[in-house]
Structure 1
Amino acid sequence: MADTAAARLNMVESQVRPADVTDVRLHDAMRELAREQFVPPTRAYLAYADIEVEYAPGRALLKPRDVAKLLQAVRPMPGERALAIAAPYAAAVLEHLGLSVTLLDAGDLSQPQGDAAYDVIVCEGAVGRAPAAWLAALAVRGRLGVIERDGPVGKACVYVRAEDGVGRREVFDATPPVMAGFAAEHGFAFE
């Protein structure tokens, strides 16, 4: 059995911190949480590698670097309400940081259930474009962290809801697989 505590420490020191993740709360959470618990036992040996690790058919945990950068970008704060979409590891990290987390990992992921307004929404799979229903589920000043991918390289984006609309900014490049049913829709346009 490999020393997973040493693997977690190495993951933070060699993948997370060098990627400009400066939030020490994230470092501490990622050193504590056993990432191998979120993948099948047959893939546990991959849990701390610098790769996306499939945990269910068509679903994968983001690379440690990417999930840390995405979580840092949405600036989670204790006491906030969070929605983690196809993101079991990110959900655990957010709970460790003191957020109240709902995990959506079954059924129609494009439609969050209920009328909750979330302060933070994160997704560990790539999408062609953030679904409107995810943006609608944000509270005022709520932040959505998602990787949008329509080609070889995706862009991690943070959407922020204001009183008068939603803003979007790109924060880093990433290449996770696009989740089934979330590919970009291309239409025909006259030039």
Structure 2
Amino acid sequence: MVDYAAARTNMVESQLRTNRVWDQRLLEAFETLPREAFVPEKARRFAYIDEDLAIGQNRHLMEPMVLARLIQAAAIGEEDMVLDLGCGLGYSTAVLARLAATVVAVEQIGEFVTAATQALDALEITNAVVVQETLTKGYAKQAPYDVILLGGAVAEVPQEIQDQLAEGGRLVTVLLDKDGLGRATLMRKDEGVVSGRVLFDAATPVLPGFERKDGFVF
């Protein structure tokens, strides 16, 4: 039998605190939310592993340290509206909901939408909603957002998603360079212009739909 409570504590102490995650609200979210409730049943014993965890459909639950540092960099306030793009089975949504006023989670796989909604309902998380939409389009119906999280590595952030940032809004993701190496990145919109800075290296799986597009060859 896995002691999930002990595993959560170990994740926080060994994976997060030792890797410059210091935000107390964020650490409390990671230590109290049952990560095992957001992975397929057969993978639950691996829920607290310190690497990306496959959840099916070519999708992954992001490594705890990477997710935590991205969320921390976004500096989410209690009044913020957050867009969680590619929420998978809903774990990132649950974490974000502990920090923000409202979370809109977008997932394009129908069975993931259902599973994420059920998991959030079971935990009585009432300030988050999961909707089905193409990930690369974001969710303009509820824009603008104070924070946008992309739940995987991307070759680029589509302009359509950047446009959904509020003034002063922050977007966090793992951007792939031309060699395919991942760089956790914080982007911010100021006076209508979005700029970014690299936070740290991250070997995060690509979010389907956000792969690098091959150029024309003449």
Which range, TM-score by smaller chain? over 0.9
Runs of 4+ in 1 over 3 A off after TM superposition: none
Question: Which runs of 5 or more residues in structure 1 are unaligned?
Answer: none
Q: For residue 15 of structure 1, what is the aligned residue in structure 2? A: 15
Give the alignment of 1:5-154 within 5 angstroms. 5-87=5-87, 88-106=90-108, 107-113=133-139, 114=141, 116-150=143-177, 151-154=179-182
Question: Are residues 189 and 160 of structure 1, via their aligned partners in 2, closer, same or farther at CA, if it must alter by over 3 Å?
Answer: farther
Q: Is the 8 A contact 1:149 1:175 kept in 2?
A: no
Q: Is the 8 A contact 2:151 2:207 kept in 1?
A: no
User: 135, 156, 166: which is aligned to 2:194?
Assistant: 166
Moved more, 146-155 or 156-165: 146-155
Q: Is the 8 A contact 2:186 2:196 kept in 1?
A: yes
| Pairwise CA RMSD | 1.6
Structure 2 residue matching 1:110: 3-state secondary structure: helix
Q: Is the 8 A contact 1:59 1:86 kept in 2?
A: no
Structure 2 residue matching 1:79: 3-state secondary structure: coil
Q: Is the 8 A contact 1:117 1:139 kept in 2?
A: yes
Q: Is the 8 A contact 2:154 2:175 kept in 1?
A: yes
Report the CA distance between 1:35 and its aligned residue. Answer: 0.6
Report the CA distance between 1:85 and its aligned residue. Answer: 0.8
Q: For residue 185 of structure 1, what is the aligned residue in structure 2? A: 213
Q: Is the 8 A contact 2:146 2:168 kept in 1?
A: yes
Report the CA distance between 1:152 and its aligned residue. Answer: 4.8
Counterpart Cα distance in 1 of 2:61 and 2:203: 12
Q: For residue 111 of structure 2, what is the aligned residue in structure 1? A: none
Question: Which runs of 5 or more residues in structure 2 are unaligned?
Answer: 109-132
Counterpart Cα distance in 1 of 2:27 and 2:198: 23
- Asked whether 1:176 is paired with 2:178, we answer no
Post-superposition CA distance 1:132-181 (Å, at most 9, x none): 11111100011010101244530011110112311111101101111222
Counterpart Cα distance in 1 of 2:54 and 2:217: 36
Q: Is the 8 A contact 1:126 1:148 kept in 2?
A: yes
> How many corresponding residue pairs?
190
Counterpart Cα distance in 2 of 1:131 and 1:59: 20
